[in-house]
């Protein structure tokens, strides 16, 4: 019966409208559950307001309790969660999100391996079981909701108790607005179109396609490419837009959980795991374990050490920690090439002006020296 329900939801990709209206959407709500991870028997402060403007309410939320939040803000290097009317708690004191629910619907096209399929699960997150159903690469399915789980992984609901991983999808949104755009996603970033532009074809950045992106539209993108002096964004549902006609929407991932490790232990394990990959080949869109591209390598290393997702490509990875300048770099930081929101390369800083990276096709994972001829733009500290 469940299989029949899923099949009724599928429809051919060729029936989809590729016009810009697919990017102009109506409603989304950012919400989720946050758990207090502090000290047994104690609690954390509940504030009126957040950041520098906060004032104590005189109340505390006990360790181990869970609270629904309806808004997220970034201030003073911390993530703040609104759990009541203008009442906030801070990630610095152990407020840890369990999940983020986003009212976002549309169509997910399975983007896996030709001839293979992905599993359908009975729930999202780690507490799930397979339903025994599989969706083939290249097929398209309607989804009614998106969730970012506590590990930073994205999930789409395609039926009653039927969820698929967002890691293997290309998405055409039907309902998606500015609130949804503020939610960090490991697979996509959001841009606002600033001027009318044709959507360019995949094969030639100078060949305008039949469809246009209108000023004011919100579009999700899944990769960046530096072509000459221009950064190009790949749209989540196909085609490309140049950076000159869009502006990035800033998001921030909640702080990674160390799961009982000290900061130094986590950094040392990240560096050691990265060095174990030395000599493996660069593979376009490679996520390991036998080959990687630049961002796939960083995703793999941090997931291996922490069990959490820092993002599948450079732009989500930029928002997985605290930005630092090049003269502030410490071992274990990520270093990026390109402007924030438009980065095209990432490496792992090792200290002493050295970094480990997967550079380009035809090369292997190696350690390089920072140089004036290929100088990074900024760093991000994953474990601040």
Residue with tokens 């989720």: 32
**What are 10's strand-pairing partners?**
141
Longest dimension (CA), the chain: 63
Residue with tokens 């159903």: 133
Domain boundaries, the chain: 2-27+103-248, 30-100, 263-381
Residue 30: the pLDDT is: 57
- Exposure string of 19-44, with b = 16+ CB inside 10 Å and e = fewer, is ebebbbbeebebbbbbbbebeeeebb
Dihedral over Cα of 321, 317, 230, 179: its sign: negative
Residue 247: the pLDDT is: 96
Q: For residue 154, what are its two tokens?
A: 């994205």
Closest Cα partner for 144 from 159, 161, 125, 164? 159
Residue 24: the pLDDT is: 31
Given a contact cutoff of 8 angstroms between Cβ atoms, the answer to whether 181 and 214 are in contact is no
Divide the 384 residues of the chain into consecutive groups of 10 and give the mean pLDDT of each group: 32 30 35 80 93 93 85 83 92 80 94 96 88 98 94 95 96 93 94 96 80 95 91 94 94 81 94 98 93 97 95 96 96 97 97 97 97 96 91
Q: Which CATH superfamily is domain 263-381 in?
A: endopeptidase domain like (from Nostoc punctiforme) (3.90.1720.10)
CA-CA distances (angstroms) from residue 196 to 21, 138, 193, 254?
Answer: 13, 30, 7, 34
Q: For residue 233, what are its two tokens?
A: 């964004």
Distance between CA 330 and CA 311 in Å, rounded? 21
Number of neighbouring beta carbons within 10 Å of residue 94: 19
Given a contact cutoff of 8 angstroms between Cβ atoms, the answer to whether 173 and 217 are in contact is no
Strand order in the sheet with 130-136: 66-69, 30-36, 95-102, 145-149, 154-159, 162-165, 117-121, 130-136
């Amino acid at each position: 019966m469940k299989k029949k329900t899923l099949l009724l939801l599928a429809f051919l990709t060729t029936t989809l409208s590729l016009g810009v209206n697919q990017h102009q959407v109506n409603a989304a709500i950012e919400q989720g559950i946050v758990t207090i991870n502090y000290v047994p028997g104690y609690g954390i402060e509940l504030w009126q307001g957040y950041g520098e403007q906060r004032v104590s309410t005189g109340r505390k939320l006990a360790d181990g309790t869970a609270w629904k939040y309806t808004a997220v803000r970034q201030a003073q290097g911390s993530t703040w969660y609104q759990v009541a009317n203008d009442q906030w708690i801070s990630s610095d004191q152990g407020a840890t999100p369990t999940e983020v629910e986003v009212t976002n619907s549309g169509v997910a096209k399975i983007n896996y391996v030709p001839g293979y399929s992905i599993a359908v699960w009975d729930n999202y997150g780690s507490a799930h079981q397979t339903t025994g159903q599989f969706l083939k690469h290249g097929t398209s399915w309607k989804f009614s909701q998106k969730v970012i789980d506590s590990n930073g992984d994205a999930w789409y609901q395609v039926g009653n108790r039927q969820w698929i991983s967002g890691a293997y999808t290309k998405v055409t949104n039907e309902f998606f607005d500015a609130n949804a755009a503020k939610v960090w996603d490991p697979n996509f970033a959001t841009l606002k179109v600033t001027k009318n532009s044709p959507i360019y074809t995949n094969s030639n950045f100078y060949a305008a396609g039949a469809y246009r992106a209108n000023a004011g539209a919100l579009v999700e993108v899944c990769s960046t490419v530096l072509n000459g002096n221009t950064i190009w964004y790949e749209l989540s549902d196909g085609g490309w837009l140049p950076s000159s006609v869009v502006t990035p929407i800033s998001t921030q991932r909640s702080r990674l959980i160390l799961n009982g490790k000290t900061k130094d232990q986590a950094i040392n394990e990240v560096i050691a795991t990265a060095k174990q990959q030395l000599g493996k080949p660069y593979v376009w869109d490679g996520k390991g374990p036998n080959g990687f591209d630049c961002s796939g390598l960083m995703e793999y290393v941090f997931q291996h050490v922490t069990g959490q997702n820092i993002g599948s490509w450079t732009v989500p990875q930029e928002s997985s920690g605290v930005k630092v300048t090049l003269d502030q770099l410490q071992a274990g930081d990520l270093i990026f090439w390109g402007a924030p929101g438009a980065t095209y390369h990432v490496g792992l800083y090792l200290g002493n002006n050295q970094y480990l990276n997967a550079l380009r096709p035809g090369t292997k994972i190696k350690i390089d020296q920072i140089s004036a001829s290929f100088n990074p733009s900024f760093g991000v500290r994953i474990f601040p």
